[in-house]
Amino acid sequence: MSFDLFTTAEEHEELRDAVRAVAEDKIAPHAAAADENSAFPQEAYDALRATDFHAPHIAEEYEGVGADALATCIVIEEVARACGSSSLIPAVNKLGTMPLILGASEEVKRRYLPEVARGEAMFSYGLSEREAGSDTASMRTQAVRDGDSWVVNGQKSWITNAGVSKYYTVMAVTDPEGKRGSNVTAFVLHEDDPGFTLGEPERKLGIKGSPTRELFFDDVRIPDERRASGVGEGLKIALRTLDHTRVTIGAQAVGIAQGALDAAVAYVKERKQFGKAVAEFQGVQFMLADMAMKLESARQMVYAAAAKSERGDADLPFFGAAAKCQASDAAMEITTDAVQLLGGAGYVKDFPVERMMRDAKITQIYEGTNQIQRMVMARQLLK
Ligand SMILES: Cc1cc2nc3c(=O)[nH]c(=O)nc-3n(C[C@H](O)[C@H](O)[C@H](O)COP(=O)(O)OP(=O)(O)OC[C@H]3O[C@@H](n4cnc5c(N)ncnc54)[C@H](O)[C@@H]3O)c2cc1C
**Where does residue 60 rank: exposed (0-12), middle (13-18), buried (19+ CB within 10 A)?**
exposed
C-alpha span between 287 and 284 (Å, rounded): 5
Measured in angstroms, how far is the CA atom of residue 139 from the centroid of ligand 1?
13
- Which helix (H) or strand (E) segment holds residue 146: the answer is strand 142-146
Q: Are 261 and 357 in contact (CB under 8 A)?
A: no
Do 224 and 188 contact (CB within 8 A), yes or no?
no
Q: Is 93 in the pocket of ligand 1 (CB under 6 A)?
A: no
pLDDT tops 50 at residue 309:
yes
Give the pLDDT band (50/70/90) at residue 6: low
CA distance 381 to 305: 16
Residue 1 pLDDT exceeds 60: no
The tens digit of pLDDT for each residue in 158-186 reads 999 999 999 999 999 999 999 999 999 99
Position 9 scores a pLDDT of 81
Helix (H, G, I), strand (E, B) or coil at 178: coil
Output the CA 281–ligand 1 centroid distance in Å: 41
Q: Ligand 1, closest atom to CA 367?
A: 17
Q: Is the overall model pTM greater than 0.95, yes or no?
A: yes
Burial category of 370 from C-beta neighbours within 10 Å (exposed 0-12, middle 13-18, buried 19 and up): middle
Closest protein CA for atom 26 of ligand 1 = 133
Euclidean distance between CA atoms 55 and 118, whole angstroms = 9
Q: Closest residue (by CA) to atom 24 of ligand 1?
A: 133
Which of the residues 214, 233, 310, 367 is marked catalytic? 367
Residue nearest to atom 41 of ligand 1 (CA): 372
Quote the pLDDT of residue 2: 44
Distance CA 66, CA 115 (A): 14
Q: Which atom of ligand 1 is nearest to the CA of 161?
A: 8
**E strand or H helix that includes residue 299:** helix 282-311
- Give percent helix, percent strand, percent coil of the chain, each to the nearest 5: 55, 15, 30
Contacts of 21 (CB under 8 A, 6+ apart): none
pLDDT in tens, 260-308: 999 999 999 999 999 999 999 999 999 999 999 999 999 999 999 999 9
Ligand 1 neighbour 363 (Cβ under 6 A): no
| Single-letter residue type at 325 | C
- Residue 202 appears among annotated catalytic residues: no
CATH numbers and ranges of domains, the chain: 10-117 (1.10.540.10), 123-231 (2.40.110.10), 235-382 (1.20.140.10)
Q: Check if 128 has its Cβ closer than 6 Å to any atom of ligand 1.
A: yes
Query: Per-residue pLDDT tens for 91-109?
Result: 999 999 999 999 999 999 9
Phi, psi of 74 (to 5 degrees): -65, -40
In this predicted structure, the answer to whether residue 321 has a pLDDT above a threshold of 90 is yes
Distance 158 CA to ligand 1 centre (A): 9
Mean pLDDT, range 28-54, rounded to an integer: 98
